[in-house]
Structure 1
């Protein structure tokens, strides 16, 4: 089967792998920081800015310092990326010079017997480029000097990549990705089990998962196919209260990346820690972010296996959640254990259902019948003794469903009445998992003339 060529960037910790990843992609996609061990998972990006598309994989350090206590898991992720890749870009640090850990990286790559491009990074200065000759002692034939942070030498590296890709295309390695993925962002506070859930949904240890809060610091994309649909799952860094996050910190950049993931998502999985039997104010703020942006929402109560429960526990907790999130009672709630996999298949079903609901369109005639009956059954309050009349209703957009009402006094229809209209519409068209956006407009003079038959 034909596939897109894969290129993995590897090396010891803190040699600038993520900076090089961003430079090749042409935009900042990976969190970059001087602290070793910031990148922990495999970060994939489809690159289509050159002549031939390819899949670029950023990795954590194969060897080196690691303050997170997750070295074995991070190394395992990097090794998987090497096995998946067709070409390896091995990165060294030109400023620090030759390091014993570099030799360990070279030994690993030689065992893998895959084509390798050797790159010496951080070579902004001529003296650094000259000193880079010491890397020949590793037994490598040639290397390319670059500075990913200053975009120096990237063009030469890309030329080498194109040469390799041209050979792969000649072998028939051409396949374009599916364009109509359902993009799913997994959001929640730190340590609610987001990475564990993604691993369970994918069916492999795709991400580093740990009891240590803040293990995920970047947003990681994983594509899977379930029940005839292509899903792009995005694991994100946990969102803490803004006051607890320092400006300029890795966590701060991770949070910004999480918000970007939310912006491009179709459906959001809000993960709650079910073992606490509570929904916190921070959970509600995250939910409100998704709600206000018109995203599809599925609330996933994780760690349900840790709860002592009877036949009423889930129902009571569900009602407790809905009492706190009255603005998003449309969101379905699923109780799962990502660790054991119990009820996790329900998540696929809900994602697909919510995505479908979000794209539904109500026929205009039927929508007008529903809204007109609502006005007749419970008319809005009079304005200065005058009746507020509904002239016309139409759904103007999907994802999220967006409805415009044309009335004579739009400013006098309050929020309470709008909520009443939403509830009325949901009785016929539930739109499970997504908000319905209502807007009220006054008819223009031209529209009134057309309605009365007086076209000027």
Structure 2
């Protein structure tokens, strides 16, 4: 028995480019398209193939606010019917106009429908419009795709999102939470040569699968090992030691291993940066560079002080060694620090629960209301310097991505938010939300329409 083609409805205000997009996806001019609001008065259907996925595409008139015009009311009704019968929604916004007062109502309506939604910002043919489209994050969108239907720009990304959504609908894919529970957490073990990476892998898996010796560079390739602990799957990626390119011969196996190790970092969920507790200095320049690489790339990571059994210690040693580590790695105080011995196995069992905690922390999405409360409070307690006699006001903030958690903050004078003040804001966010093992990225932006800024301030009391 053949499966019915999923229905995909194009939903949005009038004149945002739904019919143009419909025609582009259909590769024909089936709907009338003009720059006059409301020209698509009824639903239009087309059975199309998107990357071998057959879908039933529905074009609609605009979803409008209250109107006394009976024709506008009929168009609204047709759009609502399309929304109800659709399996997937493509919500289309106007990138040139920016955020319209009706857009927030549309977002709320679509969330209540509890159907897969692809958020699309249309008319983004100009780079500046694409840059300014970030203001749509104010609506609480997790992500969006910019396109220009009229100029056929970036449609490949939209097509990919459509295929993904269709596969979800067809397969009845489980929720993200269920999928995360079943998915293996990939752990990349990194550090300079001979710090004990292979010994740690062997200890964790309980076998001598990886060659371990006292010679730097004995692990020539990345080796993946899958295992399960307390119902959670993990994949250990034992990487070659990372050394500076200038210290590695151009044609050597070690240079090849360096490249493979960097690729392993690109596909891991959490990295373990191994340090040698028996060495002085405790954190070398090379290890600081590796930590900086992880920090800049936004890779969640844990600091692991290995060979702890070789250190003469007392009850103050952990505190003293922690101080030494973070004096050298002051930019990543968010990273958990473990002291253990791969050789004896002491404290090694702490690795897996810590990895799971860091992985979950990096994927955390915080409530927008709480995020704004924390940041507004930070601005109020310690305002940034004034700009040409004007106070710097924060209007709105929203988390736009995870892993690493990235927060978009709208202010009136972004040029006056210094790096020092950004660090202050990030510290306040870390104190409140405790993103273990992961840095928080801030994007400070100016709102496009100052008139809408003032309106927002009057209505909500935000900004001071």
TM-score (norm 1): 0.59
Which residue matches 2:351? 347
Count residues with an aligned counterpart: 277
**Aligned mate of 1:451, from 448, 452, 456:** 456
Unaligned runs of 5+ in 2: 1-180, 460-464
CA contact (8 A) 2:182 2:233 kept: no
Aligned partners of 2:334 and 2:197: how far apart in 1?
22
> Which of 438, 442, 445 is residue 441 of structure 1 equivalent to?
445
CA-to-aligned-CA distance 1:75-133 (integer Å, 9 cap, x gap)? xxxxxxxxxxxxxxxxxxxxxxxxxxxxxxxxxxxxxxxxxxxxxxxxxxxxxxxxxxx
Q: Is the partner of 2:344 in helix, strand or coil?
A: coil
Deviations 1:201-254, CA, capped at 9 Å, x for gaps: 112112111111111011111111112211111001101222210112111111
Instruction: Check if 1:328 corresponds to 2:328.
Output: no
1:312 equivalent to 2:311? Answer no
Aligned with residue 405 of structure 2, among 401, 406, 416? 401
Alpha carbons of 1:196 and 1:260: their partners in 2 closer, same or farther (altered >3 Å)? same
Q: Which of 291, 294, 297 is matched with 2:298 structurally?
A: 294
Deviation at 1:447, TM superposition (A): 5.3
- Mind listing any 5+ residue stretches in structure 1 that lack a counterpart? 1-177
Match of 2:427 in 1: 423
Runs of 4+ in 1 over 6 A off after TM superposition: none
1:267 aligns with 2:276: no
Q: Which residue of 2 aligns with 1:411?
A: 415
Q: Deviations over 1:400-437 (max 9, x none)?
A: 11101000111210000001001111121110110000
Matched, 1:369 2:367: no
Contact 2:198 2:212 in 1 (8 A): yes
Q: Which residue, 224, 231, 249 being the options, matches 1:221?
A: 224
Kindly provide the CA deviation profile for residues 38-71 of structure 1, in whole angstroms up to 9, marking residues without a partner as x: xxxxxxxxxxxxxxxxxxxxxxxxxxxxxxxxxx
Q: Do 2:182 and 2:232's aligned partners in 1 also have CA atoms closer than 8 Å?
A: no
More moved, 274-283 vs 250-259? 274-283
Matched residue of 1:275: which SS?
coil
3-state DSSP of counterpart to 1:334? strand
Report whether the alignment pairs 1:187 with 2:180. no
**Which runs of structure 2 are paired with 1:32-181 in the superposition (5 Å)?**
180-181=183-184
Q: 1:389 aligns with which of 383, 390, 393?
A: 393
Determine if contact 2:187/2:269 at 8 Å carries over to the other structure.
yes
Give the TM-score taking structure 2 as reference length.
0.58
Please, what is the CA RMSD of the aligned residues?
A: 1.8
Q: Secondary structure at the match of 1:361?
A: coil
Alpha-carbon distance between aligned partners in 1 of 2:182 and 2:195, rounded to the nearest angstrom = 30
